[in-house]
Amino acid sequence: MCGIICYCGKKQAVPILINGLKRLEYRGYDSAGFSVVSEPGKSKSNKVRKNIIVKTKGRVFQLENKMEGIDIDATYGIAHTRWATHGKPSHINAHPQTDCSGKIGVVHNGIIENYKEIKEDLIRKGHVFKSETDTEVIAHLVEEFFTLCGGNLENAVLKTVQKLSGTFGIAVIHSDVDHKILIAKRGSPIIIGVGENECLAASDSNALAPYTNKMVYLSDDEIAVLTPNDYYIKNLSNETLDKKVEILESNDYKEDKRGFEHYMLKEIFEQPESLENAMRGRLIEGEGVSKLGGLEPVIDRIKNTKQLIIVSCGTSYYSGLLGRYIFEHLTELNIEVELASEFRYRRLKLNEEIAVLALSQSGETADTLAAIKEAKRKGALILGIVNAVGTSIAQITDAGVYNHAGPEIGVASTKIYTSQLVILTLMALLIGRYQGVSFIEGSEITDALLKLPGQVREILKEAPQIEKIALQYAKYKNFLYIGRLFNYPTALEGALKLKEISYVHAEGYAAGEMKHGPISLIDKNFPTVAIAPDDLTLDKMISNMQEIKARSGKILSITNPGVKKVIDISDDIITVPRTIPILQPVLNIIPLQLFAYYIAREKGRDIDKPRNLAKSVTVE
């Protein structure tokens, strides 16, 4: 959620900032804007540098439309896409925010927890506030300290950051300070991009990719100063730091959708490749074992681990729930799965014999980040599975595994979810082979993993038939999704996908829990999606489905070919290939992703950017 892009160089800043905002749209936002300092001397009326702020409620294209016929000569500036936290989406609340003088521009990701106290103090000193945002206090604080520091912007920002509580990624410019951008980070990502005669910064490397592959990742409580020719970084003690420049591997996404109507559909169809990438170089077929280089530095600690706690949010939480079943099936570890947003509030006894595994699509999820910081403080081994290199979670963990799935632009996760499931299986197989998993069992799992991409391709060939079924169900306003064992998390994730992008109410349930409440909702207008593969839970699933039919409920089933019990009781069937039980959910979720997509498209929803949602949730 929210996005920042900054440019300081010799080129015209506005087009670069607008392009950067477009590349950040997938993160989710409700308003957009930029602040640039115009160059003096082009007209008689422009004799001094001016801070020009242009912003709008709505999308980046609306901001771009505001610029038609307007020529701004500016070679440095900051820009932002906002996801509302303090104050409703509006022009006034959109970023950048400014101070009383109008000379300062500030953009901010995160939440300032002590903004009320700061605001009250500044009002007593004569500052006048215009917005409802917590961000505006930053601009006024910088203004206050800028005067006290004799016009030194660096010191003003340093003193401002020292006064703030909460999480933030901040960028600041001042029209009295030529070609200088100040950025600061605490808990919300900021990356510096080092170009030729230009420096940039952004909350996501995607926004920097067209201009440079040289990145510097800021850590918490660091402040950077950008100029056209250089940058330097300090800590809160005003000490200059030496940070490594990292070369970002080329993972730039194509701005076109490669013929697909939406990024989400493209990413659903990319899953054969993303699964192959998750496994590439990580399976030793002849030994029935996985090889995860990212875990090798801590493999001895992993061998001695007694308990694994998986922490995550949203879709990643559901992959974690399935991970619990996979780890319990393959290892002797005691497994817990926790919502990261609740993890910190529990009184957990953590020590060096316990490992905490963080799952995050973005690598910046604030709740997950807070959870692993707490676990690290208590001495646990911290592991991670993330998709983006250099992110905050990747920096904090002791070891981990990258998805290598490529950027996921659609807000609703698809390919990262299935990639996480495969990597969780690889991790469980690695540990399990040190424990009770035999060579024969390991070989069966590696064989099944290697077949997955081809099996997903088979399912995707049936997309036209899945679309026809989805259109028949698009009229319904409520859905129940049910599954058992490995497919209970699949039911949760399937329901979430429908909710996220079609705005249709859907409940995911363990099928055995259906009679403890949800069955009261069932009637002819409340269909059920039953995930009923041909496994040891099938007979129990059939019993649940019979209970639904007895109440005139309509049933769409996801099952394997030729399962007569399911065919006889279902109104509609989508079949998927057979695989071993722990991997069946990877295949079962594919038609559910397509089902949600086609219903959302039929309803005319903004599928890639569903309302109120954000790709990267950087506030708690």
Q: How distant, in Å, are the alpha carbons of 175, 263, 526, 615 from that of 474?
A: 53, 21, 12, 25
DSSP 248: P
How do strand 191-194 and strand 199-202 relate by DSSP bridges?
antiparallel
How many other C-beta atoms lie within 10 A of the C-beta of residue 564?
Answer: 7
The per-residue DSSP string of 6-30 comes to EEESSS-HHHHHHHHHHTTGGG--S
Q: What is the dihedral of CA 401, 283, 355, 310, to 10 degrees?
A: 70
Count the helices and strands in the chain (H runs, E runs).
19, 26
Query: What's the CA angle centered on 439, arms 293 and 488, to 5 degrees?
Result: 75
What is the Cα–Cα distance from 305 to 288, expressed in whole angstroms? 22
- What's the one-letter identity of residue 185? K
Cα-trace Rg, the chain: 26
Closest CA to 290 of 514, 76, 446, 451: 446
DSSP 462: T
What is the Cα–Cα distance from 540 to 531, expressed in whole angstroms? 12
What is the Cα–Cα distance from 73 to 37, expressed in whole angstroms? 8
Q: Which residues are catalytic?
A: 2, 615
What is the Cα–Cα distance from 198 to 228, expressed in whole angstroms? 4
What is the Cα–Cα distance from 393 to 397, expressed in whole angstroms? 6
Cis status of the peptide bond prior to 96, with omega within 30 of 0: yes
CB burial of residue 71 (10 Å; 0-12, 13-18, 19+): exposed
DSSP, collapsed to helix, strand or coil, labels residue 113 as: coil
Q: Are 620 and 605 in contact (CB under 8 A)?
A: no
What is the Cα–Cα distance from 174 to 128, expressed in whole angstroms? 18
> Per the structure block, which two tokens stand in for 193?
């991009």
- What's the one-letter identity of residue 585? P
Closest CA to 402 of 418, 381, 417, 423: 423
Q: Which helix (H) or strand (E) holds 43?
A: none
The per-residue DSSP string of 505-556 comes to EEEEEEGGGGGGTGGGG-STTS-EEEE--SSTTHHHHHHHHHHHHTTT--EE
Q: Which helix (H) or strand (E) holds 73?
A: none
